[in-house]
Amino acid sequence: MTATPLIDRSRTVDALRATRLVAVVRASDAASAVRGVDALVAGGVRGIEITFTTPGATEAIAEIARRHGDDVVLGAGTVTRPEQAGEAVEAGATFLVSPGTHPSLTPALRDTGAALLLGALSPSDVLAALAEGADVVKLFPASLGGPAYLRSLRGPFPEVDFCPTGGVTPETIPAWLDAGAVALGAGSELCSRASLDAGDWAGITETARRFVAALPR
C-alpha cells in the first residue's frame, strides 16, 4: 500500500503529545468498542486506540471516525500482521501501534503514512524501534519497570518520545509524566472488558473523568 497523503504524520504525533492520554480499547465486538469510545469521549478522553484483538476492529474504527472525526486522535493497536496496517488506515486510523518491533512487519506500517508507535522494553528494543522508523516508542509492558525505569531509559535516549502502556492509573500519571513520558496508554484500568461487556457506559465515563483530572494542567 502506498503512503496516504491525507494523513499528516507530524500533526498526529503533535496531537498525541497534546492529549497525553490514549485509551487502549479491547472489546468483545465492534459495537461495544464504539459505545465504549462514546463514553470515553464524554469523559474527556481524546486519544483512542482500538486493538486488533477486538473482533471487527476495522468496522469499529470506521464508525468512530464517522462519529467523532477530528474530536479524537484515532489509532489501531496490537498490529501484528502487515495487512492490518492498511486496513486500519483505510478505516480511518491515523496512528498504528505494535506491541513489539520486527522488520517483517514495520515496512507495511511505514507504507501507510500513519504515525508509528512501536513497542520496546529494553535499550536494544528502543534502538530497533528507532531504526524501524518509530515516531513514538511504546514502552510495554510499562508496569514491569515503572516510572523509575523510564527515567533510566531517558538517560541514553533523551530525545525519544516514550508512551508507557500497561498499569497506568490516575495515581501514577504524574510520576510517569515527570519521568519524561509524552503520552500514556491506559487499557483495562481506564476501559475494562468487563465494563464494556456489561454496558456500563456511565462507569466508563466517570473513570475517564478521573484519568483526565489526574493530568497536570
The answer to whether residue 210 sits within a structural domain is yes
pLDDT number for residue 217 = 86
Tens-digit pLDDT profile for residues 117-174: 999 999 999 999 999 999 999 999 999 999 999 999 999 999 999 999 999 999 999 9
Asked whether residue 74 carries a pLDDT value surpassing 80, the answer given is yes
Asked whether residue 1 carries a pLDDT value surpassing 50, the answer given is no
Range of the domain at 98: 9-214
CA dihedral 21, 61, 67, 207 (to 10 degrees): -30
Asked whether residue 177 carries a pLDDT value surpassing 80, the answer given is yes
In 69-200, where does DSSP find H-type helix? 82-91, 106-111, 123-131, 146-153, 173-178, 193-198
The answer to whether residue 172 sits within a structural domain is yes
pLDDT number for residue 146 = 96
Q: Which residues are catalytic?
A: 49, 138
The answer to whether residue 1 sits within a structural domain is no
The answer to whether residue 123 sits within a structural domain is yes
Tens-digit pLDDT profile for residues 86-104: 999 999 999 999 999 999 9
The answer to whether residue 120 sits within a structural domain is yes
The answer to whether residue 2 sits within a structural domain is no
The answer to whether residue 140 sits within a structural domain is yes
User: Which residues make Cβ contacts (< 8 Å) with residue 101, sequence separation at least 6?
Assistant: 118, 119, 120, 125, 128, 129, 132, 134
The residue with cell 519524561 is 180
Number of folded domains in the chain?
A: 1
CATH code (residue 196): 3.20.20.70
User: Which residues make Cβ contacts (< 8 Å) with residue 70, sequence separation at least 6?
Assistant: none
Q: Which of 118, 115, 57 is nearest to 91 (CA)?
A: 57
The answer to whether residue 4 sits within a structural domain is no
Residue 6: pLDDT band by 50, 70, 90 thresholds?
low
